[in-house]
Structure 1
Amino acid sequence: MNPDMLEAGPVGAKVLSVFDFDGTLTRHDSFVPFLKFAFGKQEFNRRMLKLALPGLRFLLRRMSRDELKAQLIRTFMTGVEKAWVQQKAEEYCKAYWNKLMRPAGLQSVADEIGSGAEVTLCSASPAIVLQPFADRLGIKLIGTELEVVDGVLSGRLTGNNCRCENKVLRLEAIYGDLGEYRLRAWGDTRGDRELLAAAQDAHWRHFHSAKRRSRKQR
């Protein structure tokens, strides 16, 4: 952090430290591997076949990333009991923590907690899947919310996919005017651009190799 960043934000303001999850604190995406873990290889492959056409439409730019994400959620999460997903998320976190998490990222989260900052994850992945990770990290969680009706997932989202401008909007809904904080943020993809732009202290691919860090935000 340079001296200008230390002076950014209101004098005496609380530090709000926001970490993206997938690719930032983790070595790769967590949600699709979770689906494979939860449903088993055979059922996972069967359901993924249903996404072949939507995937092609996405590659041809005839479907947005958010639309493809919604289709993925419908394919795997429609009619599934919330309690079952929560249990599988706990098992997934326990089984894959060491393989998935970046040690440098874990240390950075611990450092932010130790500094007295308010610390949260802010991720496009479903909150129900990431909750065990947030609990183990000892921080708060903002993620994409899945609709639950009578204890069963409907396959629909509650609100918008938590990426791009929606990350900032979700943070504002919980913490209020972000200008009242000294905002620190860590991200690694195009979906984090607005979050990083809102921060006085922004970290792009901070835990990646120098080569990966040098790539432009896409």
Structure 2
Amino acid sequence: MTNRTDPRLGPTHPSLAGRGLAIFDLDRTLVPGSSLVHLGRALVRRRVVPPAALVEFLGRELLFRRRGLSGPGAERLQDRLLGMARGIEYAPLLPLVEQVGAEVVRQLRPAALRLVRHHQQRGDYCLVLSASPQELVGAVATGLGLDRGVGTRSEVVDGYLTGRLDGPLCHSDGKLARLRDELGVLDLTGAVAYSDAATDLPLLRACGHAVAVNPDRHLRAAAAATGWPILDLA
């Protein structure tokens, strides 16, 4: 959820100069379940969306925990949240999203946190790349002390959410598009990407180093066939 008022960055982001690049998916990679559901719960608690919507979000979270959401499932969940937010004033949501980001950070898997800190200690440029809203992903990245968070933008007109996306959904091929939007054209041959889902195969294949984290069965098979490392984090 953001106004597209920030200027485009140059061909490569200056902060990347001479540094490695580590890209982390968020949901079911760094944290169990869906960060989007944490946001949905908060919107219900604040009466921004109807209380009955909480049942749907909890049901989707259970499904996500058991088998993950990919492709149309992830898009339907995102569309549902966008539709609920249509006509809501944007600015008052920002403090709430920051609080939800802090809540998501507290859910981080300990082993995932150690992995993040390892890359930070190496001096890598570390970012979270997720289909969740840009502001939520940014808040999580800030809470973790990472360099950047890149998520899905929502359109804001005259200070109100329209219920439409502003750019591509940061999912599957859209993750590469959002990376280009935010950081310019990148050489990913030395980058390492971590993800749990086969929907992230475009990103994983674009990076020089790919790691499957708690992978779904399709990604597990692809990782085994390609020789990518597989991490099963508790």
**Residue from 203, 206, 216 that aligns with 2:211:** 203
| 2:113 equivalent to 1:106 | yes
**Residue from 79, 89, 104 that aligns with 2:87:** 79
**Residue from 198, 201, 205 that aligns with 1:190:** 198
Residue type of the alignment partner of 2:177: L
Note the C-alpha offset of 1:183. 1.0
Consecutive aligned runs of 4 or more in structure 1 exceeding 4 Å deviation: 41-45, 48-51
Corresponding residue of 2:178: 170
Partners of 1:35 and 1:44 within 8 A in 2 = no
**TM value normalised by structure 1:** 0.74
Aligned identity (percent) is: 28
Corresponding residue of 1:19: 24
Alignment of 1:1-218 (within 5 A): 14-40=19-45, 43-47=49-53, 64-65=72-73, 67-69=75-77, 71-98=79-106, 100-139=107-146, 140-179=148-187, 181-205=189-213, 208=214, 213=215, 215-217=217-219
Q: Of Structure 1 and Structure 2, which has the larger fraction of its residues in helix?
A: 1
**TM value normalised by structure 2:** 0.70
Distance 1:176 1:128, change over 3 A: closer
How many residues were matched structurally? 189
Residue type of the alignment partner of 2:132: S
Q: Point out where structure 1 has 5 or more consecutive residues left out of the alignment.
A: 1-11, 52-62
**CA shift digits 1:81-137 (9 cap, x unpaired):** 222321112222334532x21111112112212211111111111112222211111
The structure with the larger Rg is 1
Note the C-alpha offset of 1:64. 3.3
* Partner-residue secondary structure (3-state), 1:34: helix
Give the whole-Å Cα distance in 1 for the aligned partners of 2:219 and 2:201. 7
Q: CA RMSD in A?
A: 2.9
Q: Point out where structure 2 has 5 or more consecutive residues left out of the alignment.
A: 1-16, 58-70, 221-234
